[in-house]
Copies of this chain bind each other. A is one copy, B any other.
Amino acid sequence: MDYQGLIEEVYHEVQAENLKGKVADYIPEIANVDPNQFGIALVDLKGNVYGVGDHQVPFSIQSISKVHTLTMVFNVFNTKLWSRVNVEPSGDPFNSIAQLEYEKGIPRNPFINAGALVITDALCSKFENPIDQLSEFINELAGETCVKINPDVMNSEKNHGERNTALAYFLKSYKNFNNPIEEVLNVYFSQCAIEMSCVDLAKSFSFLANDGFSIFADRQILSESSARRINALMLTCGFYDEAGEFAYRVGLPGKSGVGGGVAAVMPHKFSIAVWSPELNEKGNSIKSIRALELLTDKLSFSLF
């Protein structure tokens, strides 16, 4: 398969479509990013890396980091985790608090904010230096030191963090939060502020395309079965209230972030990361999603 030719073709077709969205504006560091940037990186199972456009420019991966923390935590708690967070699509916006009330403090899934806060809380229960250990873990997955936590983004997240703080207190009121709230939120805002390039991000997702084995870390990260389960979760819950649409149009397990990145995997074939800052109404990168749709069309395969 000529992956390099493929992603270049996709890249140019998407550019020609001249899609317009809206950069996330809730924190200045993301609002001020050059909106025209666009990059794609694909990593096959042998570890070959293909890239086009701004694929080496670090960007704020935001919610994509929720896959990395879930991986760390899932490895420790395994299915016990599901007593604290569910595995169902939410049908509501990512930061909804209403559903959390109806479901008595058990978040719908680990990728909406409430669920991700539970995961980060679990991380803080088992790792002494959660931020450092998360960075090291992602560096290991990518096979090189690549993670940088942007302190300005981190501080901005904190200063706009009232809603996540509300979610944390709300979880605590349901006894579904064990560590000091400020400490967990610091980790949470830090993980949101991680910056990586498409290349490194695609490498860090490679084990999910490879039955849990990372060719870059050269070790089994998760059991085969657990890796499959994380993929299932990404497929049903990885794109907020656009998960069904993404499954329908693209058909790959993936996770998006408000910085405009999307990381996805085609199991037993490749992992891929796409980045472009302009978002659609649902908060997903308009060019990234279009690129992935074109890619699966051209490959004429997807999961399905």
Residues of B within 8 A of A173 (CB): 162-163, 166
Query: Using a Cβ–Cβ cut-off of 8 Å, how many residues does chain A contribute to the interface with B?
Result: 51
Are A245 and B88 within 8 A (Cβ)? yes
A13 at interface by CB-CB < 8 Å:
no
**In chain B, what residue has the closest Cβ to A163?**
B173
A35 at the interface (CB under 8 A from B): no
Q: How far is the CB of A29 from chain B (nearest CB, A)?
A: 19
Q: SS class of chain A's interface: helix, strand, loop or mixed?
A: helix
- With contacts A231-B304, A236-B236 taken as known, whether A98 is within 8 angstroms of B88 at the C-beta atoms is no
A242 close to chain B: CB less than 8 A? yes
Residues of B contacting A297 in the complex (Cβ-Cβ under 8 angstroms): 225
Does A170 have its Cβ within 8 Å of any Cβ on chain B?
Answer: yes
Name the one of B101, B225, B244, B302 contacting A228, with C-beta atoms under 8 angstroms: B302
Kindly provide the distance from the CB of A183 to the nearest chain B CB, expressed in whole angstroms: 15
The stretch of A133-141, A147-155, A190-198, A246-254 in contact with B is A246-254
State the Cβ distance, A200 to closest chain B Cβ, in Å: 23
Complex interface: chain B residues within 8 A of A84 (CB): none
Least Cβ–Cβ distance between A270 and chain B, in angstroms: 14
Complex: how many Å from CA A223 to CA B47?
34
Which residues does chain B contribute within 8 Å of A228, judged by CB atoms? 251, 302, 304
Question: Which residues of chain B are near A251, meaning CB under 8 Å?
Answer: 228, 232
Q: Which residues of A contact B (CB under 8 A)?
A: 86-92, 96-99, 101-102, 108-109, 162-163, 165-170, 172-173, 224-225, 227-229, 231-233, 235-237, 241-245, 247-248, 251, 253, 267, 297, 300, 302-304
The 4 nearest A-B residue pairs measured at CB: A98-B98, A231-B304, A166-B169, A91-B91
